[in-house]
Amino acid sequence: MAEVQQNTGGDGKKGQQKKMQIRVDFTPMVDMNMLLITFFMLCTTMIKSQTLTIALPSNEKVDNVENMSQASEDDAVTIILDAKRKAGSMEVDTVNGKVVPVVYYYFGKPGGPEGLGDAPETIAARNNLQESEFLGNDEKSGKARGIREIIQQRNKDVLTEINKLKEKYASGGFGSLETKEGREKAQLAYDEAASKVRKDENLKKPVIIIKSTPQASFGSLVSVLDEMQINSISKYQIDNMTKADSVMVIDYQNRHHK
């Protein structure tokens, strides 16, 4: 560990103070420190979690009636979240302990303009529910797939405007991107312009109503809220399933997942 070397010089004169050399070996100290560093490195949580802010309408019944009338407009898209079920039953199927999300959607009113009706034949004939998936963009072509493609088609007007703004930003139309300050300024200008486009009344915009069966996972709710953000949807709401919605989902499952 530590050693003290003494010069045992025989040739030294008598009475001269002996020179001592003291050396301490720090290797074990370094070993211990490395262990401690490893411990603290493993214990730290560097990644902070992110949040997603949502605002829901008030729970009062009066508001709901208003929303319903708004929802029945033609440009409404209803997205119903569900989980993949085991074949032939209503039980939720899991893959590696994860719930597989399934997305249904329909445009306008349930059952089309005439409504769904009560008879089983009309329900099966008028059911305008379609199935989709959360797929994201195609890796090679970068084209949107699944539910994202459907939302993008509906929100085409806004997205073309937003893409124009993105190009303008990339080419320096909102200010130079050379310096950090310039980038921040350009980003602010871009954000302002983008939010103006999203709220522009002259553009055709869909109203998206998000509904969910009780079995759908929380993860799929967050995924669908993400899609709203990715596709610049300004008007969306989370609502409860109506009777017609449940009837259509059950009818769809009976016909397609036997």
Partner 1 sequence: MGRVKIAKKSTFIDMTAMSDVTVLLLTFFMLTSTFLSKEPATVITPPSVSTEKVQETNVVQVLVNPEGKVWLTMNNDTSSNWSNEKMRMALLDKVSEIYNETHKNKPVNFTEAQKYTFSKLGSFGVPLAKMGEYLDLVNQPEGQTKMDKWLEGDGDPNHPTGIPISWNDNESNPNEFQMWMKAMRQSSNENLVSAIKDGTGVAIKADQNTSFDIVHLVMDNLQTIHMNKFTLLTALKGAED
Buried b (16+ CB within 10 A) or exposed e, 48-77: eeeeeeeeeeeeeeeeeeeeeeebeeeebb
Interface segment toward partner 1; rule CB under 8 A; list 9-17, 105-113, 131-139, 152-160 = 131-139
CB of residue 83 to partner 1, shortest distance in Å: 8
Interface segment toward partner 1; rule CB under 8 A; list 8-16, 173-181, 188-196, 218-226 = 218-226
Query: Residue 137 or 246: which CB sits closer to partner 1?
Result: 137
CB of residue 242 to partner 1, shortest distance in Å: 15
Partner residues linked to 142 by β-bridges: none
Least Cα distance to 115 among 208, 257, 247 occurs for 247
Interface segment toward partner 1; rule CB under 8 A; list 111-119, 122-130, 220-228, 248-256 = 220-228
CA torsion, points 247, 106, 252, 230, in degrees to nearest 10? -120
Per-residue contact flags (x/-) with partner 1 for residues 54 to 73, judged by CB under 8 A: xxxxxx--------------
Q: Which of 78, 152, 212, 232 binds partner 1 (CB under 8 A)?
A: 212
CA torsion, points 91, 97, 103, 104, in degrees to nearest 10? -10
CA dist 185 and 148 (Å) reads 30
Contact between 184 and partner 1 per CB under 8 A: no
Contact between 43 and partner 1 per CB under 8 A: yes
CA dist 211 and 82 (Å) reads 9
- The footprint of partner 1 (CB under 8 A) covers 23-27, 29-30, 33-34, 36-37, 40-41, 43-45, 47-59, 81, 83, 92, 94, 97-99, 136-137, 139, 212-223, 225-226, 229-230
